[in-house]
Amino acid sequence: MSDEPTYTEKGKPFERDTNYIQDRVTARPGTSADPYVGSVDVETWPVEPGRYRLAAAKACPWANRAIIVRELLGLQDVLSMGLAGPTHDADSWTFDLDPGGVDPVLGYERLQQAYFARDPDYPRGITVPAMVDVPTKAVVTNDFPQITHDLFFEWREHHREGAPDLWPADVRDEMEEVMRRVFTEVNNGVYRCGFAGSQDAYQEAYDRLWTAMDWLEERLTDRRYLMGSAITEADVRLFTTLARFDAVYHGHFKCNRNKLTEMPALWGYARDLFQTPGFGETIDFEQIKAHYYVVHTDINPTGIVPAGPDPAVWLTSHDREKLG
């Protein structure tokens, strides 16, 4: 099973399976470097440069978060990354972008092999991102929000000089609330629209999504980033959905009240991030479109991938420097 949802049972709203492998890679066994957390009640693995491989895919918004955070923090030399191709079958993401279709570090054709190396009877979806232990070639965790959290707090000794503070203490409480709303109403909200099992479920999802999008438009009118004048984890989490909005979610998921390009603050904000090192270079619009329009056969049975929109618009001036 891949991590992509299938069409929701008729008459029901879409619900995402969020049951992930909860092991963590931490700086000290049994504890978290995050002052909000302290002791940890799940199995922990030690931070070791070169030991782990981040299995990801540029097509996937959840994996795209981890790719961006790895870039922002400068972890490329201590955490290798393997990229799966944009399309997959019902069983697994595959490493078809690599020569011979095999990940050069893990020696796997399919990410499923890393999950089965941990549990031969692994029963859930084969998801990206996933942290894989290179010595055993087994998945450590696929808990995507925890992965980016730990890349910041637990891998700090290996961050590049001048790496951004993605979890600033002075706005932490509010940021947690913002991220929660962004996830439920926007990141997952577009899927709730696209995979609704009835007209009523779709309408409810659509209304919730656009209530949140209007809230974000207002919030970003007079501040450069979600939490003020500096980029945080909250911006990473929102950006991966915005980058896919006009190319995929507007039409494919029927989130079509208007385009992102028609919302001045959100569109300027999205371009601002896209043009920031660590963001735009992680976006591959051809892979993104291929993933959604080819894999989601229930929604797009023809498999035709749209030619547009023109990605050059992402490089146009945004004029948001004046906000801080």
Whether residue 322 contacts residue 221, with contact meaning beta carbons closer than 8 Å, is answered with no
Q: What is the 3-state secondary structure (H, E, C) of 105-145?
A: CCCCCECHHHHHHHCCCCCCCECCCEEEECCCCEEEECCHH
Which DSSP helix (H) or strand (E) runs through 65? helix 61-73
Nearest to 131 by CA among 53, 68, 18, 76: 53
**217 Ramachandran zone, left/alpha/beta (phi>0; psi -120 to 50):** alpha
For tokens 């961006």, the residue is 68
Whether residue 261 contacts residue 246, with contact meaning beta carbons closer than 8 Å, is answered with yes
Token pair for residue 75?
A: 């972890």
What are the residue numbers of the active site? Answer: 60, 191
Three-class secondary structure of residue 22 per DSSP: coil
Q: How far apart are CA 181 and CA 14, in angstroms?
A: 17
